[in-house]
Structure 1
Amino acid sequence: MLPGRVATTPAQAREVATELGVPVVVKAQVKTGGRGKAGGVRPAPGPSSAEETARDILGMDIKGHVARSVLVEAAQVVTDEFYLAFLLDRAERTFIVMCSAAGGMDIEEVAATRPEALVKLPVDPVEGIGAEDARRLAAQAGLPAQVIEPAAEAIVRLWQVFKREDATLVEVNPLAATSDGRIIALDGKVTLDDNAAFRQPDHEALADKASEDPLEAAAKAKDLNYVKLDGSVGIIGNGA
């Protein structure tokens, strides 16, 4: 991970950039993907630029999510960008790990047009994934030989996070390589399993109450599942 801090105002973004003393990247903090394509992730060479960039991003609507804060993070020059994710495959009723040497904003396009470039393997929930399996996965995905070891370490650690936190998705995109052979998580996304909330009390503190729909919040308080949709047609699901 890179040094950085969350800011909720342009002035705070300037303050963080000043403290870091290096070029930064300003990232919208919203619970959705595609921030880069939507203009929610932008570089800023200095404090003044960070302030202006934060002013542009704060309040931005990205796929229905309003950016109320930004992460001001030290910029990093990288040589390669990879993709790594653990997720619950509901169709196959198992966990899978996905890895690709073609990381970055266009991973969706890679998956659609070059599926062979995205390696998918099942993960036994009891045995998990060890160092040898992780090395094999990284090599099969086409990662350069010089980053196989640090990438394998990142894969094992990501699995530990996925399992420990009862997640249904833990995604790092991009997982980047530096010129000195380090592996850095430049961006990530986590989806937590609400059904496991009873054994994960710390997750409640992560809830973004400000962006939660009032009706959905009221339903959740009564242990009901309610999803607000556009239009005037409602759906009642009564078991399956």
Structure 2
Amino acid sequence: MPIQRGIVASQVRFLNLHEYQSKQIMAKHDINVQRFEIADSVDQAERAARNLNAEEIVIKAQIHAGGRGKGEFSSGLKSGVHLTKDPAKVPGIVEQMLGYKLKTKQTTGDGVLVRKVMVAEALDIAKETYFAILMDRESGGPVMVGSPDGGVDIEQVAETNPDHIFQMPIDITTGPTKAQTREMAKNLGFTGKNVEEASEQMQNLYKLFLDVDAVQVEINPFGLTPQNRVVCFDAKISFDDNAAFKHPDLQAMRDTTEEDPREVAADAVGLNYVGMEGNIGCLVNGAGLALATMDIIKLYGAQPANFLDVGGGATSEQVSQAFKILTEDQNVKTILVNIFAGIASCLTVAQGIVAALKEGPKIKIPIVVRLQGNHVEEGKACLRNSGLNIVAIDDLDEAATESVRLANA
């Protein structure tokens, strides 16, 4: 069974939660997490540090990217994770975090602006293990995955010590039995009373998994403190986007400030858009066709600038918005529209194209359109009668080669 990965997250178009948000959800489900407060000002951080009354405090910059511990701030401060035993030192650290960009191995450009920090009780880890619950195609339902080797990427464990990975399918109608979670706890190396505590935490994690309609809940490390307490030290939660309508509270947690504004704009009108670095903008209906269109562009020597699926029931308004998003990308030198109409008609798509080109800012780059399927002749007529500079081509290979030629001209 392949191990699935994902942070904190999936939709509405990959809903990313910050670490503190994941821990808030976990705490509500009686899952052991470190005590913490969130702060968006130096004064708040100082109060939080004193309120915690902890032996040691950890301050963590809250961004969606990983590798915070080895990152660097535009202020010059090294690392997005700092430890101190003196609450009086917290303001000086936070001053160099808030309002500055943190660059890590996972961020792009000059980093991500830090708007919040988590001030938490620092807990020592006496034992690190890995535990996750995820949906698995092969099992046809949820599975528990565990390893006594925590604190590292599970892919690394799978490669170097595959016998250290334990998997248990879960009956989705009954959930994991206590016998299963106890067995998993023992597989992870817990002994004595910690077997029961770890088992109980696994049961609570499964309840969270169901309550939020997750496709994955990953705890790494799922650990033990020197005081012999089982704690979930770090969490990554991935949500089922098809169940998003059931969880407006989760959607309200979405922080779009770190997302590509084009992807946010596309999501707002129900478009599936992912920005890339090529020079040919793609507008396609259907995910499979979109991927095939990107492949054929690469086959003929160019690079797609995006993945953009307007869906089977695309409206003229959605097509119009899609064009606006594509033309805002300065790297796009040509737009290739590839429509195989079934539910949506070629006429609807053509009307959206014409509306976008006539009503929006003047588009100077060439546009190649390939229409096939439902109401194709009406769609072509709409494009011809528009008076716009559109290259209409029936054959996909020809449309792709012409797009590449125009982009390189």
Task: Name the TM-score, length of structure 2 as normaliser.
Answer: 0.53
Q: CA deviation at 1:106?
A: 4.9
Deviations 1:78-115 (A, max 9, x none): 32122211122356553222112221245443333222
Q: Which digits, 9 at most, give the CA deviation of each residue in 1:152-210, with x for residues without a partner? A: 00111101101110112212222221234321122212121221111222212111132
Greater RCO (CA < 8 Å, at least 6 residues apart): 1
Secondary structure of 1:174's aligned partner: strand
Distance apart, 1:225 and its partner CA: 1.1
Counterpart pick for 1:61 among 97, 103, 111: 103
CA distance in 1, matches of 2:285, 2:67: 30
Change (3 A) 1:105 1:49: farther
TM-fit CA distance, 1:73: 0.4
SS in 2 for 1:226: strand
Letter in 1 for 2:197: P
Paired amino acid for 1:19: N
Q: C-alpha separation between the residues in 1 aligned to 2:185 and 2:281?
A: 45
Matches within 5 A, 1:50-129: 50-58=90-98, 59-62=101-104, 63-64=106-107, 66=112, 67-90=114-137, 93-129=140-176
Greater shift, 211-220 or 119-128, is seen at 119-128
Judge conservation of contact 2:148–2:187 (CA < 8 Å) in 1: no
Distance 2:80 2:281 in 1: 32
| SS of structure 2 residue aligned to 1:25 | strand
Deviation track 1:134-159 (CA, whole Å, cap 9, x = no partner) reads 00111123333441111000111101
Label 1:99 to 1:33 Cα distance change in 2 as closer, same or farther (>3 A): farther
Relative distance call for 1:57 and 1:118 in structure 2 (3 A) is farther
Greater C-alpha radius of gyration: 2
For 1:198, the equivalent position in structure 2 comes to 245
Partner residue of 2:62 out of 29, 36, 41: 29
CA distance in 2, matches of 1:81, 1:109: 15
Does the CA contact (< 8 Å) of 2:213 and 2:239 recur in 1?
A: yes
Contact 1:36/1:105, CA 8 A, preserved across alignment:
no
**1:42 maps to what in 2?**
82
Task: State the secondary structure of the residue aligned to 2:273.
Answer: coil
Quick one: which of 177, 181, 189 aligns to 2:228? 181
- CA shift, 1:234, in A, is 5.0
Structure 1 residues 82 and 237: CA distance shift in structure 2, 3 A = farther
Letter of the structure 1 residue corresponding to residue 196 of structure 2: E
Number of the residue aligned with 1:15: 47
Distance 1:98 1:36, change over 3 A: farther
For 1:174 and 1:49, how far apart are their aligned partners in 2? 28
Conservation of the 8 A alpha-carbon contact between 1:97 and 1:120: yes
Question: What residue in structure 1 maps to residue 326 of structure 2?
Answer: none
CA contact (8 A) 2:36 2:120 kept: yes
Question: How big is each residue's C-alpha offset from its partner over 1:124-143, in whole Å with a ceiling of 9 and x where there is no partner?
Answer: 32222122110011112333
Partner amino acid, structure 2, of 1:27: K
Q: Percent identity?
A: 35
Alpha-carbon distance in 2 for matches of 1:37, 1:123: 37
Residues 117 and 145 of structure 1, relative CA distance in 2, 3 Å threshold: farther
Measured after TM superposition, the shift of residue 231 of structure 1 is 4.2
Q: Which amino acid aligns with 1:165?
A: V
Inter-CA distance 189–54: structure 2 relative to 1 (3 Å threshold) = farther
TM-score of the aligned structures, taking structure 1 as reference length: 0.87
Does residue 4 in structure 1 map to residue 4 in structure 2? no
2:251 aligned partner, one-letter code: E
